[in-house]
Structure 1
């Protein structure tokens, strides 16, 4: 943005502080699929909950909301916009107050994912498919994956969703028995990048909002990605069982492509077809 006087910058950051606080206050944990977590002294989401939903550090988000002079990026502002469920004008307003040139509303989000990968994931429809990075951040997922597995617009990370998205958790068959394997697999992935502090930040932030995750992480269990079957109880389609195939992207070995096929003999393929053509799915 164009240069501004120190006084103007302070005014802008003060407005950013008030804007973020009011946007956070208007949302409840239930609005974003999180457990309420007991009585609250003030309405709305807590700062750490917004940080987890956006995939940013709690301290960094606190500084942003306090109006401190810190650097921000397009990707982070987009994530915060999604976490706070900002509409188009609000998103542009956030960019302006953060001192970043607003992108054209509705324009494509900058990403390094190739068109070929995106086309593959979309072509896998009506079966679920997704692409995630080393931190289990969701880079791309097709519409079926959102519908079948319960991912919402504010879900940016598989691990965070597993522990904080109430709808996802309710749909996942045998959630409690699967959870230790999920955490053990994430620890194994994190161990492959010992110098990457982003893993520690993610673990710390998730631990503050999910006692279940904190308890499992403290066990220090390590395991491989051995879960090859994923079963969900969908509220409209009923029991859905998938064989999961996990592939590593050749030119990005820290990216993982997950492809899901209906398990033969379970009736999943027929239920999936009905779900894809249901009026509620086509009108969304």
Structure 2
């Protein structure tokens, strides 16, 4: 049986220094983080109880205790929510065998945006729909691909993202925020297995146990035809689903907007690399 709650508490404890927790200096320490007894004392619980939590021998802690530990460990809203989910995981749900699909309305909407890149993710970051400009930026934005697999396993993505290190450091906490607490989900286990075996970068980031649902920001691309692009992104939850609409736009009147116009002209309909889904349908 996994001990996801205990592993998470231990990792976060080890990453918080005594100074950050308001403890006076104690000279040389063998480890930089907090000791178990220090967490217990500052959180107002017994040392034995906290040890049982980390060892997985108490799997039903009260929300009050967990919120106290979250405050001590300086967890933000996303990380605190994740901690509570680990302590009270949902009953494993049997999912319908049919694949997720984006609605026709969403497809029509994003296709109507000539200078805004847009695509739709499913729960596991599978691409369910994308407009022409998004696919022109990267063929891995086409429906049938999985964005997190592409980010870590496709060499072209390192060339496309000028800030690939920053991008990957964002996407792993995002995956953990939306899916990571469901440790019994077969699809999630499969994804994590592939990524852990094939990407040292992913393994390192996943082991940090960071949780962050960052929904807005900016990133830099270097497209082989359009050149450098500075784009702002927004991630919007599609109501009534586990899907997310991701959009990228340029500052009005900027050089990037001009380059997006060039990219739109260069991307003729039909020039889309075969995705796994399209190959499967053809076969």
- Superposition TM-score, scaled by structure 1 size: 0.55
- Whether contact under 8 Å (1:130, 1:145) holds in the other structure is yes
- Whether contact under 8 Å (1:137, 1:158) holds in the other structure is yes
The DSSP-based 3-state class of the residue aligned with 1:173 is coil
Tell whether 2:248 aligns with 1:260: yes
| Pairwise CA distance, 1:113 | 2.5
Tell whether 2:128 aligns with 1:139: yes
Distance 1:249 1:154 in 2: 17
Tell whether 2:212 aligns with 1:223: yes
Tell whether 2:209 aligns with 1:208: no
| Pairwise CA distance, 1:230 | 2.4
Match of 2:23 in 1: none
- Whether contact under 8 Å (2:132, 2:269) holds in the other structure is no
Deviations 1:41-88, CA, capped at 9 Å, x for gaps: xxxxxxxxxxxxxxxxxxxxxxxxxxxxxxxx997xxxxxxxxxxxxx
**1:126 corresponds to which of 102, 105, 115:** 115
Matched ranges for 1:100-179 at <5 A: 112-151=101-140, 156-179=145-168
- Superposition TM-score, scaled by structure 2 size: 0.55
Runs of 4+ in 1 over 6 A off after TM superposition: none
Matched ranges for 1:11-26 at <5 A: none
Distance 2:188 2:270 in 1: 38
Deviates more, 1:179-188 or 1:218-227: 218-227
Task: Look at both structures and tell me which one has the larger radius of gyration over its CA atoms.
Answer: 2
Tell whether 2:171 aligns with 1:182: yes
The DSSP-based 3-state class of the residue aligned with 2:210 is coil
Distance 1:111 1:178 in 2: 25
Distance 1:175 1:115 in 2: 32
Deviates more, 1:211-220 or 1:137-146: 211-220
| Pairwise CA distance, 1:153 | 6.0
- Whether contact under 8 Å (2:127, 2:141) holds in the other structure is no
CA RMSD of aligned residues (A): 2.6
- Whether contact under 8 Å (1:149, 1:232) holds in the other structure is no
| Pairwise CA distance, 1:120 | 1.0
Structure 2 gaps, min length 5? 1-95, 272-283
Structure 1 gaps, min length 5? 1-72, 76-109
Distance 2:182 2:253 in 1: 40
Match of 2:259 in 1: 271
Distance 2:131 2:160 in 1: 18
Distance 1:127 1:207 in 2: 33
Distance 1:153 1:188 in 2: 24
